[in-house]
């Protein structure tokens, strides 16, 4: 239950901070579809002016959370505050937030210009022409103003959707997997462009995605969501370097997690025993209340050294035998069996030194700097979050299938 | 097919050259012949209607072709009561189409955009009138009108026509709405449109082809309805009622003229509509 | 949890939109069914007035007096449905798989008969099947018909009329179900050593079954209740139950009897439809 405590203490920390102007504040949000709790007592504060990513696998409740902020879904419990005002009961068309839909939802019967002008016309704004032209310029689509959406490419449609939401200068811009339907190259470009626009306009962006690389490249802050709860929240580096749960350790990148026991402390490091060898973990990177822990380290932090040289005292060491190695261009990935552990360890070595790859069967030492070590609760599932991360490299187009079907079955549609 | 069989001993394959030839022939020719015959079968009566509109009947009955004439076309309203019956039918059809379209569009929108208790039952109720033979619909309405005291006549016909047209409108409009991305309404709401504004600015224009098709269908069904009308018309004379009555004494060739005119109008409408749809589809690609 | 005002409004919207339709069908579809059922249990006469006396004997009398008409209606409707299927399936098949760019023109032709007035197009068959017409002439010269035989006013002409009039309702659903089939499935079947005909029998036909079933319903139901074709193309010998119901209501003015006949017709049709649906579902399982 550590992850719950973590999420809640995180929430408490923010509650004590004064809610600033423009902050989006979610308090105890619950959404159920029948017996299925999709969002489970969610607390979250999104500070004004940030690009905030809500990251999680399909069906984790992230899209439902976004839809509740947009007013397209109604929470069973909890409140949503924007700049200190309760907007929980406000209907969609009264909320000062705008959404970029995953399917873009461009109106097929209206021109690009009229699509972008839609929200302005509904609010009877002045200078519609100038505003629309300006935003179309920002997304580099002035030339397309009089075309219909079907005449545009996927990337162009995506930009129209963005412009159509941005032109209303929303207090929060909601992006629901906005790049899911684009190919990898275009996605990279758009990630950059969205980040640029956000910097320029200084608006709050809430970006929902299942793509950890996308979240890490774009976001100022990421909340990792799983099973309707927030596992961990923080800056991308913080989440990556110091995961607090097995889910986060595996969902963002990959991790070696080895079973271990806490043996004692030595200054500001905790000494653990892993497969009969001593592994030292910085005290502030131990996230377990128990004796039994999972000791973790990222594969790319590990040096693979042939036996013989003595280890540096600032390093941890585990010895094993090379089982397999695979060459992947910028580096080599070794799979190393460790005596006493059922799970082999992975190590990623950059191809910086000349020389042959280590052959399978070679006895090696795996070494890494002590500050890279972390320890998690030993009662967790060490495989949580594995395989559910879909990187952009696969070019996989994903829909939150579980959430969609849950909505189709139970959700009252607008 | 032949390539694969050639790689194996013929004896193992239960290979029958005769069957092969028949199926190939079936695929290539018989189908086309049947298709052509079916087309002739479909169009023959229409051709007869058009030809007989140019006939000068020998006697009372317009069954066999006697002599070519354009008289029937120049003197369309000749037979007593024919043109007034067409006018009444047009009036009823127009009113029925408008009413059924309004009622049907509201219901179709509700059924395709909301999930609520009784959704399934409402869907079944919509289909029920279509599964009843028309005699039963007409007869039951007659018993209702007699019991409640609604006089038979144009009003009774109109009420009945609206009833059976609603179902058709709902089915056509629902099919169109199902093709639209449900996110579009959400997007409109997200862009500050109230439900009514979202309906007016997004759903209505996008569903317009379906609504138009439903209205045209309702108009055609009402105009052409005979069986139900027959039970509820009293002394009112719609065009089908006129034809029914005339059938016993001999149908004047002007009836064929009217039928030809209607056929051509609807045909032209249908063809233009499909051409417009195709052009639009191509343009938006 | 108490509902908010907004939620309450949302909950009512779908019902408000449905209300006119529900009201209309309640008043002019369901209420008439009730008065029909009530009427079928009345006694009395048109001049002296009808009274509700729970007169079950109406049903007995109806069946005893008119069972041949019921039988004939079901028989004609079944034959017409089968004829329509035999014509419509190849037609739809051709439109989907062989027509190419003629597809949409052929589709318009399929529905074209519906654009010509129902009664007028039925009357056109009297010209086509007339004793002096081309069809009878050809059949006589081929010695299929002897010179003293004819087609009009026989079961053949009634069934031909029924088949013709309801054919589009068979063709369209079959067309839709065939058009939906992924053409690669048929290629896959051929790739797996099915001959053209076997591929048709094992892939195309089963996948088009929903279209066949709905087409058969859409033809059988109106055909079983029809009286126009029997009246215009038939004789006294070929009258169907629709003719009886029509004349009982509008000429004999025996409402209870006519209502009982209508109720029996509904029950008969519903019974046959559910029976055949069950059977076809059982066939699918095999």
Question: pLDDT, tens digit, for every residue of B137-149?
Answer: 999 999 999 989 9
pLDDT digits (tens, 9 = 90+) for C16-34: 999 999 999 999 999 999 9
- Taking residue C244's Cβ as centre, other Cβ atoms within 10 Å add up to 23
**Which tokens sit at B41?**
């079968």
| A101 → closest Cβ in B183, B193, B197 | B183
Q: Are B177 and B108 in contact (CB under 8 A)?
A: yes
The residue-averaged pLDDT of A209-215 equals 91
- Residues of A in Cβ contact (< 8 Å) with C1: 76-77
- Residues of C in Cβ contact (< 8 Å) with A412: 10-11
Residue C133's pLDDT band (boundaries 50, 70, 90)? confident
- Taking residue B197's Cβ as centre, other Cβ atoms within 10 Å add up to 16
B197–A122 C-beta distance less than 8 A: yes
Closest of A116, A29, A117, A119 to residue A75, by C-alpha: A29
Whether C142 contacts chain A with CB within 8 A = no
Q: Is ipTM strictly over 0.90? A: no
**A305 pLDDT more than 50:** yes
- Residues of C in Cβ contact (< 8 Å) with B173: none
C10–A412 C-beta distance less than 8 A: yes
Percent of chain C scored above 90 by pLDDT?
44
Closest of B201, B199, B192, B223 to residue B108, by C-alpha: B199
The residue-averaged pLDDT of A331-338 equals 91
pLDDT (0 to 100) of residue B142 = 94
Q: Are B206 and B184 in contact (CB under 8 A)?
A: yes
CA dihedral A403, A408, A411, A414 (to 10 degrees): 110
**B26 pLDDT more than 60:** no
**CA separation, residue B49 to residues A159, B252, C108, C123, C176 (Å):** 58, 12, 18, 9, 29
A89–C6 C-beta distance less than 8 A: yes
DSSP letter (8 states) at residue B70: S
* Min Cα separation C285/chain A (Å): 28
pLDDT (0 to 100) of residue A409 = 43
Q: How many CB pairs under 8 A join A and C?
A: 8
**C89 pLDDT more than 50:** yes
pLDDT (0 to 100) of residue C23 = 96
* Min Cα separation C55/chain B (Å): 17
The residues in B 31-70 lying below 8 A from C, measured between CB atoms, are: 31-32, 34-35, 38-39, 41-46, 48-49, 52, 63-64
pLDDT (0 to 100) of residue C49 = 79
**B10 pLDDT more than 50:** no
What value does the mean pLDDT of chain A take?
85
**CA separation, residue C262 to residues A407, B44, C70, C220 (Å):** 45, 34, 11, 16
Whether C6 contacts chain A with CB within 8 A = yes
Q: What is the DSSP track for B185-210?
A: HHHHHHTT--HHHHIIIIIHHHHHHH
Burial of residue C68, with CB atoms counted within 10 A of its CB: 0-12 exposed, 13-18 middle, 19 or more buried: exposed
Least-confidence region, from A73-77, A242-246, C55-59, C132-136: C132-136
Q: How many residues does chain B have?
A: 285
* Highest mean pLDDT out of A196-210, B11-25, B51-65, C48-62: A196-210
Question: Exposure pattern of C196-225 as b/e (b: 16+ CB <10 Å)?
Answer: beebbeebbeebbeebbbbbbbbbbbbbbb
The residue-averaged pLDDT of B160-180 equals 93
Least-confidence region, from A408-412, C39-43, C94-98: A408-412
Residue that is written with structure tokens 């004692």 in the block: A264
Least-confidence region, from A137-141, A202-206, B68-72, C221-225: B68-72
CA dihedral A383, A388, A390, A394 (to 10 degrees): 90
Chains in contact with C, where contact means 3 or more Cβ–Cβ distances below 8 Å, are A, B
Whether B111 contacts chain C with CB within 8 A = yes
**A16 pLDDT more than 50:** no
Q: What is the DSSP track for B210-253?
A: HHHHHHHHHHHHHHH--HHHHHH-TT---HHHHHHHHHHH---T
Strands of the sheet containing A51-55, edge to edge, are: A97-100, A172-176, A204-209, A51-55, A221-226, A229-234
**CA separation, residue A381 to residues A247, A385, B4, B90, B186 (Å):** 8, 9, 52, 74, 39
* Min Cα separation A187/chain B (Å): 22
Q: From chain A, which residues contact C within 8 Å (Cβ)?
A: 74, 76-77, 89, 91, 412
pLDDT (0 to 100) of residue C33 = 95
What's the CA gap between A30 and C182, in Å, rounded? 42
* Min Cα separation C20/chain A (Å): 21
| C4 → closest Cβ in A76, A89, A412 | A89
Q: How many CB pairs under 8 A join A and B?
A: 79
The domain over range B82-251 is classified in CATH as 3.40.50.150: no
The residue-averaged pLDDT of A118-133 equals 93
| C196 → closest Cβ in B27, B126, B240 | B27
DSSP letter (8 states) at residue A24: E
Chains in contact with A, where contact means 3 or more Cβ–Cβ distances below 8 Å, are B, C
Question: Exposure pattern of A375-392 as b/e (b: 16+ CB <10 Å)?
Answer: bbbbebebebbbebbbeb
Question: Exposure pattern of B121-158 as b/e (b: 16+ CB <10 Å)?
Answer: ebeebbeebebbbbbbbbbbbbbbbbbeeeebebbbbb
Distance of CA B98 to the CA centre of its chain: 16
pLDDT (0 to 100) of residue B152 = 94
A413–B114 C-beta distance less than 8 A: yes
B186–A105 C-beta distance less than 8 A: yes
The residue-averaged pLDDT of C43-56 equals 82
pLDDT digits (tens, 9 = 90+) for B105-128: 999 999 998 888 889 999 999 988
When scoring A29, A74, A80 by the number of chain C Cβ atoms within 10 A, the one with the most, hence best to mutate, is: A74
pLDDT (0 to 100) of residue C132 = 77
| B190 → closest Cβ in A99, A103, A108 | A99
**A23 pLDDT more than 90:** no
Q: Which residues pair with C49 in a beta bridge?
A: C45
Whether A123 contacts chain B with CB within 8 A = yes
Closest of A370, A365, A303, A297 to residue A332, by C-alpha: A303
* Min Cα separation C110/chain B (Å): 7
Q: Which residues pair with A327 in a beta bridge?
A: A332
**A259 pLDDT more than 80:** yes
Percent of chain C scored above 70 by pLDDT?
94
**Overall pTM > 0.90:** no
What's the CA gap between C245 and C254, in Å, rounded? 10
C217–B45 C-beta distance less than 8 A: no
pLDDT digits (tens, 9 = 90+) for A166-181: 999 999 999 999 888 7
| B38 → closest Cβ in C87, C111, C117 | C87
What's the CA gap between C129 and B214, in Å, rounded? 35
Domains recognised in chain C with CATH numbers: 67-284 (1.10.3720.10)
**A1 pLDDT more than 50:** no
- Residues of A in Cβ contact (< 8 Å) with B181: 103, 105
**If you measure CA to CA, which chain C residue comes closest to B250?**
C123
Q: Are B167 and B130 in contact (CB under 8 A)?
A: yes
pLDDT (0 to 100) of residue C26 = 96
The residues in B 149-178 lying below 8 A from C, measured between CB atoms, are: 159-160, 162-163, 166, 170
Higher pLDDT, C61 or B66: C61
What's the CA gap between B91 and B84, in Å, rounded? 11
pLDDT digits (tens, 9 = 90+) for C255-282: 999 999 999 999 999 888 888 777 765 4
The residue-averaged pLDDT of A13-25 equals 59
Q: How many CB pairs under 8 A join B and C?
A: 252
Domain boundaries in chain B?
Answer: 82-251
Q: What is the CA radius of gyration of chain C?
A: 24
B183–A413 C-beta distance less than 8 A: no
pLDDT (0 to 100) of residue C17 = 92
Residue B282's pLDDT band (boundaries 50, 70, 90)? low
């Amino acid at each position: 239950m550590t992850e719950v405590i973590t999420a809640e203490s995180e929430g408490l920390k923010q509650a004590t901070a004064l809610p600033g102007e423009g902050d989006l504040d979610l308090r105890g949000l619950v959404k159920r579809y029948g017996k299925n709790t999709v969002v489970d007592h969610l607390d979250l504060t999104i500070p004004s002016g940030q690009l905030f990513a809500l990251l999680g696998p399909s069906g984790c409740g992230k899209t439902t959370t976004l839809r509740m902020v947009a007013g397209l879904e109604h929470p069973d419990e909890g409140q949503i505050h924007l700049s200190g005002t309760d907007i929980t009961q406000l209907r969609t068309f009264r909320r000062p937030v705008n959404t970029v839909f995953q399917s873009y939802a461009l109106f097929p019967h209206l021109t690009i210009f009229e699509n972008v002008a839609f929200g302005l016309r509904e609010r009877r704004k002045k200078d519609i022409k100038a505003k629309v032209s300006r935003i179309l310029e920002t997304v580099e689509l002035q030339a397309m103003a009089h075309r219909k959406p079907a005449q545009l490419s996927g990337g162009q449609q995506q930009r129209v959707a963005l412009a159509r939401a941005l032109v209303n200068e929303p207090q929060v811009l909601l992006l629901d997997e906005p790049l899911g339907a684009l190919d990898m190259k275009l996605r990279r470009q758009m990630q950059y462009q969205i980040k640029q626009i956000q910097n320029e306009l200084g608006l709050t962006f809430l970006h929902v995605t299942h793509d950890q690389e996308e979240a890490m490249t774009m976001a100022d802050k990421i909340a990792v969501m799983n099973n309707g709860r927030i596992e961990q929240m923080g800056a991308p580096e913080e989440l990556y370097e110091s995961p607090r749960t097995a889910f986060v350790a595996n969902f963002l990148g990959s991790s070696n997690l080895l079973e271990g026991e806490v043996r004692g402390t030595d200054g500001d490091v905790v000494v653990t025993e892993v497969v009969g060898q001593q592994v030292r973990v910085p005290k502030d990177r131990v996230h377990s209340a128990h004796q039994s822990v999972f000791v973790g380290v990222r594969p790319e932090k590990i040096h693979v050294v042939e036996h013989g040289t003595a280890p540096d005292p600032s390093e941890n060491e585990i010895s094993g035998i090379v089982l397999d190695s695979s060459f992947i261009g910028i580096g080599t990935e070794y799979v190393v069996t460790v005596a006493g552990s059922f799970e082999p360890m992975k190590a990623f070595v950059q191809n910086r030194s000349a020389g042959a790859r280590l052959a399978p069967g070679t006895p090696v030492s795996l070494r890494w700097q002590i500050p890279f070590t972390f320890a998690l609760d030993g009662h967790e599932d060490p495989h949580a979050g594995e395989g559910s991360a879909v990187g952009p490299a696969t070019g996989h187009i994903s829909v939150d299938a579980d959430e969609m079907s849950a909505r189709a079955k139970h959700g009252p549609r607008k | 097919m032949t390539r694969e069989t050639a790689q194996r001993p013929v004896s193992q394959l239960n290979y029958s050259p005769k069957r092969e030839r028949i199926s190939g022939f079936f695929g290539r020719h018989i189908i086309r012949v049947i298709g052509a015959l079916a087309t002739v079968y479909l169009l023959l009566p229409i051709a007869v209607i058009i030809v007989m509109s140019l006939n000068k009947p020998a006697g009372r009955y317009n069954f066999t072709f006697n002599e070519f004439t354009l008289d029937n076309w120049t003197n369309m309203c000749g037979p007593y009561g024919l043109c007034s019956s067409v006018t009444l039918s047009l009036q009823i059809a127009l009113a029925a189409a408008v009413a059924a379209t309004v009622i049907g569009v509201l219901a179709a929108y509700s059924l395709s955009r909301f999930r609520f208790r009784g959704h399934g039952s409402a869907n079944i109720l919509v289909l029920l009138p279509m599964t009843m033979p028309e005699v039963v619909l007409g007869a039951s309405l007659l018993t209702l009108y007699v019991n409640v005291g609604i006089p038979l006549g144009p009003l009774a016909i109109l009420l009945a026509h609206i009833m059976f047209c609603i179902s058709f409108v709902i089915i056509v409009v629902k099919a169109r709405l199902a093709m639209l991305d449900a996110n579009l309404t959400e997007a409109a709401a997200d862009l500050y449109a109230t439900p009514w504004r979202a309906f007016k600015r997004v759903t209505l224009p996008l569903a317009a082809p379906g609504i138009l098709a439903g209205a045209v269908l309702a108009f055609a069904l009402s105009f052409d309805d005979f069986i139900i009308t027959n039970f509820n018309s009293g002394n009112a004379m719609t065009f089908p009622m006129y034809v029914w009555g005339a059938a016993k004494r001999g149908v004047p060739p002007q009836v064929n003229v009217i039928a030809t005119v209607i056929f051509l109008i609807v045909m032209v409408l249908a063809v233009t509509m499909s051409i417009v749809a195709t052009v639009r589809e191509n343009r938006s690609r | 949890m108490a509902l908010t005002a907004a939620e309450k409004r949302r909950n009512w919207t779908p019902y408000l939109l449905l209300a006119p339709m529900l009201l209309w069908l309640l008043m002019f579809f369901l209420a008439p069914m009730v008065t029909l059922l009530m009427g079928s249990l009345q006694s009395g006469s048109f001049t002296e007035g009808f009274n509700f006396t729970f007169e079950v004997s109406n049903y007995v009398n109806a069946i005893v007096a008119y069972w041949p008409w019921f039988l004939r209606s079901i028989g004609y409707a079944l034959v017409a449905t089968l004829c329509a299927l035999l014509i419509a399936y190849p037609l739809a098949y051709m439109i989907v798989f062989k027509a190419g760019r003629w597809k949409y023109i052929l589709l318009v032709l399929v529905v074209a008969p519906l654009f010509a007035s129902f009664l007028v197009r039925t009357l056109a068959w009297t010209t086509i099947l007339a004793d002096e017409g081309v069809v009878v002439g050809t059949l006589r010269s081929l010695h299929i018909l002897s010179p003293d035989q004819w087609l009009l006013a026989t079961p053949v002409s009634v069934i031909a009329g029924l088949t013709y009039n309801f054919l589009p309702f068979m063709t369209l659903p079959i067309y839709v179900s065939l058009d939906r089939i992924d053409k690669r499935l048929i290629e896959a079947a051929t790739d797996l050593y099915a001959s053209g005909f076997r591929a048709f029998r094992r892939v195309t036909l089963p996948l088009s079954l929903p279209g066949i079933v709905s087409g058969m319903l859409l033809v059988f139901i109106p055909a079983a209740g029809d009286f126009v074709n029997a009246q215009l193309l038939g004789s006294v010998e070929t009258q169907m139950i629709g003719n009886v119901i029509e004349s009982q209501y509008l000429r004999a003015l025996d409402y209870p009897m006519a209502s009982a006949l209508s109720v029996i017709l509904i029950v008969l049709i519903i019974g046959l439809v559910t029976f055949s649906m069950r059977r076809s579902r059982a066939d699918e399982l095999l």
